[in-house]
Amino acid sequence: MTFWRLVLNNLSFHRRMHVAVALGVAAAVAVLTGALVVGDSVRGTLRDVALERLGCYDEALLTDRFFRATLAQELAATPGFEQHFSAAVPAIIVHGTVEYHRPDGRTARASGVTIIGCNRYFWPACRRDPAEMVPRIAGDQIAINAALAGPEQLGIDLSRSPGAEVLLRIGAESHIPADSPLGRKQGTVRSRTLAVGFVVPSRVLGNFSLRPNQQTPLCAFVDLATLQSLLDRPQRANAILLAGRVDPRTTSQRAWTAASESANQWLANHLRPTAADYGLTLNHVVVGDRAKPVLDYYNLTSDRMLLDRPVEKLADKYGDPVQPALTYLANDLQCGERHVPYSTITAIDPKKGFGPFQLGDALPSPDPSLKGRGVKERTLPPPASDLRPPTSHFPALANDEIVLTDWAADDLHAKPGDTIRVTYFDPETTHGEAQERVANFKLRGIVPLAAPDKPPLPTNDLDLAPPLAGVTDRKSITTWDPPFPFHPDRVRPSDERYWRDHRTTPKAYVSLATGRRLWGSRFGQTTSLRFPGVPGAPPQSDQSKTGALPQASSGVLDVNSQSRHRTWASRSNPSSGRHCRPRLARRRSTCCFCRSARS
Amino acid sequence: MPHLVVENLTKEYPTRTGPLRVLGGVSLELSAGQNLAILGPSGSGKSTLLSIIGTLDTPTAGSVRLGDRNPFELAEPDLARFRHEQIGFVFQEHFLLGSCTALENVLVPMLAEGGRPAADTIERAKSLLARVGLADRSDHRPAELSGGERQRVAIARALINRPRLLLADEPTGNLDRTSAASIGRLLVEIQAEEQAMLIVVTHSPELAALLQQRRELDGGQLV
């Protein structure tokens, strides 16, 4: 007997078991190999489909807001761009519906169509052969892919119906979310009739899609300027498509991944959107005389009314010098039987340098002898420069406390200690319907609000309220066209006078914590961040001044070059005879005082 | 002069609560032709002691000398060769290969030397089978043998290399009383004939009574 004989003996002796094990192993190998082969095949197919849809575009910036389309050009002009990318193309990518009235009289409608607004560089960027023809869309044309043109969708055959026209419908989202009572829910659909120029084959980005989906996408291509016009977003885009230098079809996965990571890193370091791209505006607000302003600060606001969370965190980052504010609409202020409709109410913690008031002795109680008399007949408060200077951090209001301006307090016949009932909309709608809520507060104090012909006070700050289309741009309250349920019959002449004289200037204040609890939502809980200004600095932007601003010096936030400079004619001003109303002051070019000051 | 000298053999196993001492300074000596029975309750360390003497395990402290060599000073290949040449094992289970005949099972240890076993080796295997009373069963496979017969084949297999030390761990544990007495006597007789040293670990007083010396392992010490 030898060792090998022993082995053979053993194999032979246990042959049944060995055969069973071999069969089991064979079955397992077959199953695993089959799964791997099928998986690899599926993976490869999906990869090919994805690459065909992406074309040459390796990176895409797709946002839920519109930014400057020139950001793509700026990126392409950045040194180092050409090492990683061959092109940067701005685009608008939205979803919409396309309708076609067929020659047989029936209407075909395709929904969920990806509408791509692209310029003339969109296709050439992916052209591999310079001689290859690429689509060119005229302003009144639309190009559709084969899936959308097919009989299951629109059923357009350009050989039989050249110049067929389709109706393009797109939901134009407002800046403010529709689920907010201040967001538009109706009348947001834009439509335009366009001629189908051609059907784009899949090999030239006809199935362009950023979504990894097995279903063939329905795509329609429109000239970028046409789509910008349709959406009323001139010079704006919501996507940047970047064509890479490395073709994943001809490069190893490892090399492509390395190139992609390098490109991503470069993008992270060099993509520099400005505040405007984020929908942010930083205004330099000066209230009062420039030499001795009552208020001098920088106001950061968003075109979405509420600041996004990352922007809100600026306040945490810069801490004490920053004053966050949340201004909301009170449908009704009530004290006893008296009401004041449609008032702005601001949640804010008073702060040195910002005001808008100081708790304690500085809060004058209304003179009982003036009860029931108009505010204009009251003794004027001291000029801004004579106000007792704040000595430290101002105490904040308690959660159940409210402060009224003397205008509102007089109108409500309210005195400290009274209960003020505030009616407002829930910050988020339910099934699209705004729900009213009520909160009761104890009147902690009354702060003065200067009449338009008097020197302004810190409470004369209409920049606390963000602009709202259909409301803040109207001359009178009765002409409001708000997105929420509105009852113009509640508006009194005195309210119209307030609107004429003070516009959106708040009539009431609560603590920031209380306001955020009542009016904060998933969309945000801050309408503005107020950063301190530099005393004596001119309202225009310059480096010496922006150095005092958080991030302003880094270029992330650019101070609005047309800084907001608002004032009232003062008694000492020789032009006091020319009354400049606040609503005009917001339009600096027509502000009589500003014009004279510049001259 | 003794051929097997075990001095202060200590064995500890690490546990989560600290080292567990199984053997605490075991010493013994054995000369050629001598045999020894080691008794003790379960868990007393009998099998551990046998494994260390048989170089299947290493001691925590102490030494084992077989002849003039300390096997734990050898490298692993040399230790395996040493074990193959010097020590024979008989276990409670016979561990015979079911695919081989009795004769082939006896020859299995010789396969480690490579090639075909020499004729004299085959003759020795046959004579060992004859000595254990299985001359006419050499072509039978283990499945065709009784429990006692299988253990006899295992004894023949342990002796094929003419080991100087024969270690038996409960060799009769799986056998009935009659077969156990027969196997015990056979083991002692062959050991005497081969002039080998024999150490038997057992629970059986009957088997122990057949051996020259009897020591009990208690609390890690031989008494």
Counting residues of chain B whose pLDDT is more than 90, the rounded percentage is: 57
Distance in Å, alpha carbon of B130 to nearest chain A alpha carbon: 19
Look over chain A and give the mean of its residue pLDDT values, rounded to a whole number.
78
C-alpha A311/C-alpha B223 separation (Å) is 84
Same domain (yes/no): A267, A283: no
Residue A321, preceding bond cis, omega within 30 degrees?
Answer: no
Quote the pLDDT of residue B211: 92
Residue ranges of A 6-25 with Cβ closer than 8 A to chain B: 6, 9-10, 12-14
Q: For residue range A274-329, what is the model confidence (pLDDT) as tens digits?
A: 888 888 888 888 888 777 788 888 888 888 888 988 888 877 777 677 889 999 99
Is residue B214 within 8 A of residue B37, CB to CB? The reply is yes
Quote the pLDDT of residue A176: 65
Structure tokens belonging to residue A467: 């602009």
**B97 belongs to a structural domain:** yes
Query: Given pLDDT bands bounded at 50, 70 and 90, which one contains residue A65?
Result: confident
Q: For residue range A454-481, what is the model confidence (pLDDT) as tens digits?
A: 888 888 888 888 888 778 888 888 888 8
Entry field: residues in chain B? 223
C-alpha A35/C-alpha A41 separation (Å) is 10
Tell the burial category of A225 from Cβ atoms under 10 Å away from its Cβ (0-12, 13-18, 19+). middle
Query: Given pLDDT bands bounded at 50, 70 and 90, which one contains residue A88?
Result: very high
**B27 belongs to a structural domain:** no
**B149 belongs to a structural domain:** yes
**A585 belongs to a structural domain:** no
C-alpha A425/C-alpha A423 separation (Å) is 7
* Cβ contacts from A onto B, under 8 A: 27
Same domain (yes/no): A284, A389: yes
Quote the pLDDT of residue A247: 79
Q: Taking 70 as the threshold, does the pLDDT of residue A574 lie above it? A: no
C-alpha B94/C-alpha B88 separation (Å) is 13
Q: What is the mean pLDDT of residues B111-121?
A: 83
Looking at the structure of chain B, the number of domains it has is 1
Collapse the DSSP code of A284 into the 3-class scheme (helix H, G, I; strand E, B; otherwise coil) and give the result.
Answer: strand
Counting residues of chain A whose pLDDT is more than 70, the rounded percentage is: 78
Looking at the structure of chain A, the number of domains it has is 3
**B117 belongs to a structural domain:** yes
Of A1, A9, A10, the CB nearest to B107: A1
Same domain (yes/no): A224, A288: no
Residue A356, preceding bond cis, omega within 30 degrees?
Answer: yes
Distance in Å, alpha carbon of A1 to nearest chain B alpha carbon: 6
Same domain (yes/no): A484, A352: yes
Q: Taking 60 as the threshold, does the pLDDT of residue A391 lie above it? A: no
**A99 belongs to a structural domain:** yes
Distances (CA, A) of A207 to A51, A52, A144, A292: 10, 8, 9, 62
Distance in Å, alpha carbon of A19 to nearest chain B alpha carbon: 16
Measured in whole angstroms, how far is the alpha carbon of residue B97 from the centre of its chain? Answer: 18
Quote the pLDDT of residue B1: 59
Quote the pLDDT of residue A369: 38
Top-confidence residue, B134 or A379: B134
Q: For residue range A163-191, what is the model confidence (pLDDT) as tens digits?
A: 889 999 998 666 666 666 666 666 668 88
Do B99 and A2 lie within an 8 Å CB cutoff? Answer: no
Buried b (16+ CB within 10 A) or exposed e, A418-455: bebbbebbbbebeeeebeeeebebebbbbbbbbbbebb
Same domain (yes/no): A359, A462: yes
Do B99 and A3 lie within an 8 Å CB cutoff? Answer: no
C-alpha A574/C-alpha A596 separation (Å) is 11
Quote the pLDDT of residue A184: 63
**A328 belongs to a structural domain:** yes
Kindly report the backbone phi and psi dihedral angles of residue A597, in degrees, each rounded to the nearest multiple of 5, phi listed first: -65, -40
Q: How many CB atoms lie within 10 A of CB A361?
A: 7
Q: Taking 60 as the threshold, does the pLDDT of residue A588 lie above it? A: no
Residue of A nearest to B111 (CA): A3
Q: For residue range A434-455, what is the model confidence (pLDDT) as tens digits?
A: 788 899 999 988 888 888 888 8
Is residue A379 within 8 A of residue A367, CB to CB? The reply is yes
Look over chain B and give the mean of its residue pLDDT values, rounded to a whole number.
90
**Region label for B219, one of left (φ > 0), alpha (ψ between -120 and 50) or beta (otherwise):** left
Same domain (yes/no): A256, A319: no
Same domain (yes/no): A346, A237: no
Same domain (yes/no): A266, A376: no
- Which residues on B lie below 8 Å from A12 (Cβ)? 99
Is residue A324 within 8 A of residue A312, CB to CB? The reply is yes
C-alpha A331/C-alpha A343 separation (Å) is 7
**A13 belongs to a structural domain:** yes
Do B99 and A10 lie within an 8 Å CB cutoff? Answer: yes
Quote the pLDDT of residue A471: 82
Buried b (16+ CB within 10 A) or exposed e, B140-179: ebbeebeebbbbbbbbbbbbbbebbbbbbbbbbbbbeeeb
Collapse the DSSP code of A31 into the 3-class scheme (helix H, G, I; strand E, B; otherwise coil) and give the result.
Answer: helix
Query: Given pLDDT bands bounded at 50, 70 and 90, which one contains residue A555?
Result: very low
Is residue A420 within 8 A of residue A508, CB to CB? The reply is yes
Query: Given pLDDT bands bounded at 50, 70 and 90, which one contains residue A599?
Result: very low
**A51 belongs to a structural domain:** no
Residue of B nearest to A3 (CA): B111
Same domain (yes/no): A233, A120: yes
Do A14 and B99 lie within an 8 Å CB cutoff? Answer: yes
Q: What is the mean pLDDT of residues A84-110?
A: 90
Q: Taking 80 as the threshold, does the pLDDT of residue A582 lie above it? A: no
Q: For residue range B13-22, what is the model confidence (pLDDT) as tens digits?
A: 998 888 899 9
Least confident of A184-198, A327-341, A452-466, B153-167: A184-198
Most confident segment among A175-184, A362-371, A489-498: A489-498
Owning domain of residue A31: 3-42
Residue of B nearest to A12 (CA): B99
Q: Taking 70 as the threshold, does the pLDDT of residue A594 lie above it? A: no
**Alpha helices per DSSP H over A375-492:** 406-412
Collapse the DSSP code of B51 into the 3-class scheme (helix H, G, I; strand E, B; otherwise coil) and give the result.
Answer: helix
Is residue A462 within 8 A of residue A283, CB to CB? The reply is no
**Alpha helices per DSSP H over chain B:** 46-53, 76-86, 102-107, 119-131, 147-159, 177-194, 205-209
Quote the pLDDT of residue A534: 62
Quote the pLDDT of residue A186: 63
Is residue A311 within 8 A of residue A278, CB to CB? The reply is yes
Kindly report the backbone phi and psi dihedral angles of residue B181, in degrees, each rounded to the nearest multiple of 5, phi listed first: -65, -40
Quote the pLDDT of residue B57: 92
**B58 belongs to a structural domain:** no
Same domain (yes/no): A306, A319: yes
Minimal CA–CA distance to B222: which of B82, B68, B15, B62?
Answer: B62
Q: Which residues pair with B181 in a beta bridge?
A: none
**A584 belongs to a structural domain:** no
Distance in Å, alpha carbon of A209 to nearest chain B alpha carbon: 60
Q: Is the pTM of this model over 0.90?
A: no
**B106 belongs to a structural domain:** yes
**B181 belongs to a structural domain:** yes
Query: Given pLDDT bands bounded at 50, 70 and 90, which one contains residue B79?
Result: very high
Q: What is the mean pLDDT of residues B157-182?
A: 88
Same domain (yes/no): A250, A282: no
Owning domain of residue B134: 33-45+74-216
- Which residues on B lie below 8 Å from A10 (Cβ)? 97, 99
Same domain (yes/no): A355, A226: no
Interface predicted TM-score (ipTM) of this complex, two decimals: 0.73
**A587 belongs to a structural domain:** no
C-alpha A221/C-alpha A117 separation (Å) is 6
Distance in Å, alpha carbon of A513 to nearest chain B alpha carbon: 55
Residue A99 has what DSSP assignment?
E
Residue A185 has what DSSP assignment?
-
Q: For the domain that residue B151 is a member of, what is the CATH number?
A: 3.40.50.300
